[in-house]
Amino acid sequence: MTKFIILFNIFIKLFNLAKVSMRTDETVETQTADKIVKEIEEKKENFEDLLQDLNRET
């Protein structure tokens, strides 16, 4: 069951990362590129942490 929860969290993180990359031009214009890059890096770190948790469980 724990593996399912971790995999589900990984799926959500990937979905959120995809949402960041699919933003419209209008949204990008209101945000600086630095903010978007920072947000992607934070999501990447969270994803890597979840992968490490999954590896510990197996």
Q: Which residues have CB under 8 Å from 40's CB, separation 6+?
A: 17, 20, 21
Q: In this predicted structure, what is the pLDDT of residue 22? A: 61
- What is the SS3 assignment for 31? coil
At 25 the pLDDT is: 53
The residue whose two tokens read 């920072």 is 38
pLDDT tens per residue across all 58 residues of the chain? 677 888 888 888 878 777 666 655 555 566 677 787 888 888 888 888 888 888 887 6
